[in-house]
Amino acid sequence: MIIAHLSDFHISRHGSRLTQLQDAAWRANGESGWETIRRVGDWRIQTRPPKRLHIHHRLRLVDDIGVVHRVMKVGRGYRSKTESIDMLLTFLEARERTTPQALAQKFPSTRQLERLLSLDPDNINLRFCAVAHAIRRAKPDHLVVTGDVTDDAEGFELVLEGFEPFFSTGRVSIVPGNHDVYPSPPLWVAKKYRKTEAAKRMLWATFSSSLGLPPSGSHVRVLERGVLLVCLDSCHRARVLGSASGLVPMGDLHEMARQLDASGKGIRIACLHHHILNFPAKGLGIAPLQPGMRLRNAKEVYAQLKELGFRLVMNGHRHVGYRFHPAMAPLFLSSPSSTIGCRSGARPYYWQIEVDRHGLHQVKECPIP
Ligand SMILES: [Fe+2]
Ligand SMILES: [Fe+2]
């Protein structure tokens, strides 16, 4: 069977990642020096006079919670103020048409999508639609999605619509990522939109149940051709503010071993959000350049998966794509973000894996156009 491994869509209310934006919500709302010159619904166009020794003004588009979506320079060598305002208004229109709800209601055709992306090429929600089209064309037998489906637990309806042909036939396995279930980061999310962990877990449970999957926790799935897939929920956070680290409870691992024994013979593969192994050449379980990101019990999970004879382990989270096959251990596949791409600068791609009860036959990168 052919499995497509995707990850980290980060779908959001307006197609931007909260943490990628130039200004945190509290600064965008309160920073002095920016003056609102136009209001469109809850959105604002703001201006700031040139700084000392600079000859250009700046204009920016701010949404209802104070998140900055686009900044433009105005003046000599750049567009005029009127032209820039027009461009921001066109951009705003595009953003309002591309909320997850709007896109789910009327999922764009490839031609419509091309046009929308030409207006707003970095819109993550639109990028997700491109991913969905690519996967529909490729027609894999099963999808494995390793978490961070959303940026802050908004937009599950778009995933349901995009992968509808796969969901409706039970051919998707999906585990949560820290962005899906950890509490909204207070620095980035305005108070009225902040969600607690319990609220996000409820939203995840509804999403997961609508796919016919357990509302929470780890579970085993028996796929076709003797493939046994273990879905591990690694989203158990540390009690440290802002930490994105994870942990797989040992109880889940023991239960998984029991269920595998009961599932009969087959090739064992697993998926989880957090990475067990770092990029090749880094030490196991040590994450020197990623404070707050690691799987805290990586060594124990690694040992258990190795002992149980797993052949493949898939993860997301780092937005770095790599494969690493230590001796006598499973092959580890890390997926980049399918919408944003890879931190190395590589364009988005997904892993295509050909597997059956006899083993892994082919593993390759498939670019997402
Ligand atoms: Fe992510
Ligand atoms: Fe993550």
Provide, rounded to the nearest whole percent, the portion of the chain with pLDDT above 70.
Answer: 91
The pLDDT assigned to 31 comes to: 59
Q: Locate tokens 């433009």: which residue? A: 72
The pLDDT assigned to 283 comes to: 47
Strand 35-40 with 2-6, pairing? unpaired
The pLDDT assigned to 23 comes to: 56
Question: For residue 253, how far is its CA from the centre of ligand 2 (angstroms)?
Answer: 21
* Closest ligand (CA of 340): 1
Question: For residue 107, how far is its CA from the centre of ligand 1 (angstroms)?
Answer: 24
* Closest ligand (CA of 243): 2
Q: What is the pLDDT of residues 134-186, one digit of tens each?
A: 999 999 999 999 999 999 999 999 999 999 999 999 999 999 999 999 999 87
Residue 330 has pLDDT above 60, yes or no: yes
Question: For residue 18, how far is its CA from the centre of ligand 2 (angstroms)?
Answer: 13
Confidence grade of residue 288 (pLDDT, cut at 50, 70, 90): very low
Strand 2-6 with 349-356, pairing? antiparallel
Residue 24 has pLDDT above 80, yes or no: no
Provide, rounded to the nearest whole percent, the portion of the chain with pLDDT above 90.
Answer: 62
The pLDDT assigned to 25 comes to: 53
CB 232 within 8 A of CB 272: yes
Confidence grade of residue 231 (pLDDT, cut at 50, 70, 90): very high
Question: For residue 274, how far is its CA from the centre of ligand 1 (angstroms)?
Answer: 10
Question: For residue 147, how far is its CA from the centre of ligand 1 (angstroms)?
Answer: 7
Confidence grade of residue 285 (pLDDT, cut at 50, 70, 90): very low
The pLDDT assigned to 27 comes to: 60
Question: For residue 17, how far is its CA from the centre of ligand 1 (angstroms)?
Answer: 10
Residue 313 has pLDDT above 80, yes or no: yes
Q: What are phi and psi of 323, to 5 degrees?
A: -125, 145
Question: For residue 337, how far is its CA from the centre of ligand 1 (angstroms)?
Answer: 7
Mean pLDDT, rounded, for 241-269: 91
* Least confident span in 79-83, 187-191, 241-245, 348-352: 187-191
Confidence grade of residue 287 (pLDDT, cut at 50, 70, 90): very low
Query: Who wins on pLDDT, 278 or 350?
Result: 350
Q: What is the pLDDT of residues 204-218, one digit of tens each?
A: 999 999 988 999 889
Confidence grade of residue 284 (pLDDT, cut at 50, 70, 90): very low
Residue 286 has pLDDT above 90, yes or no: no
Confidence grade of residue 280 (pLDDT, cut at 50, 70, 90): low
Neighbours of ion ligand 2 (CB under 5 A): 148, 177-178, 317
Q: Model-level pTM?
A: 0.90
* Closest ligand (CA of 176): 2
Question: For residue 180, how far is its CA from the centre of ligand 1 (angstroms)?
Answer: 9
Q: What is the 3-state secondary structure (H, E, C) of the chain?
A: CEEEEECCCCECCCCCCHHHCCCCHHHHHHCCCCEEEEEECCEEEEEECCCCCCCCEEEEEECCCCCEEEEEEECCCCECHHHHHHHHHHHHHHHHCCCHHHHHHCCCCHHHHHHHHHHCCCCHHHHHHHHHHHHHHHCCCEEEEECCCECCCCCHHHHHHHCHHHHCCCCEEEECCHHHHCCCCCCCCCHHHCCCHHHHHHHHHHHHHHCCCCCCCCEEEECCCCEEEEECCCCCCCCCCCCCCECCCHHHHHHHHHHHHHCCCCEEEEECCCCCCCCCCCCCCCCCCCCCCCECCHHHHHHHHHHCCCCEEEECCCCCCEEECCCCCCEEEECCECCCECCCCCCCEEEEEEEECCEEEEEEEEECC
Question: For residue 185, how far is its CA from the centre of ligand 2 (angstroms)?
Answer: 13
* Closest ligand (CA of 293): 2
Mean pLDDT, rounded, for 341-359: 88
Query: Who wins on pLDDT, 48 or 238?
Result: 238
The pLDDT assigned to 48 comes to: 81
Question: For residue 6, how far is its CA from the centre of ligand 1 (angstroms)?
Answer: 11
Mean pLDDT, rounded, for 314-332: 93
Question: For residue 238, how far is its CA from the centre of ligand 2 (angstroms)?
Answer: 14
Residue 263 has pLDDT above 80, yes or no: yes
* Closest ligand (CA of 181): 2
Q: Which amino acid is at 298?
A: A
Confidence grade of residue 307 (pLDDT, cut at 50, 70, 90): very high
Q: What is the pLDDT of residues 52-91, one digit of tens each?
A: 666 778 898 988 777 788 888 887 778 888 999 999 999 8
Question: For residue 317, how far is its CA from the centre of ligand 1 (angstroms)?
Answer: 4
Question: For residue 73, how far is its CA from the centre of ligand 1 (angstroms)?
Answer: 30
* Closest ligand (CA of 336): 1
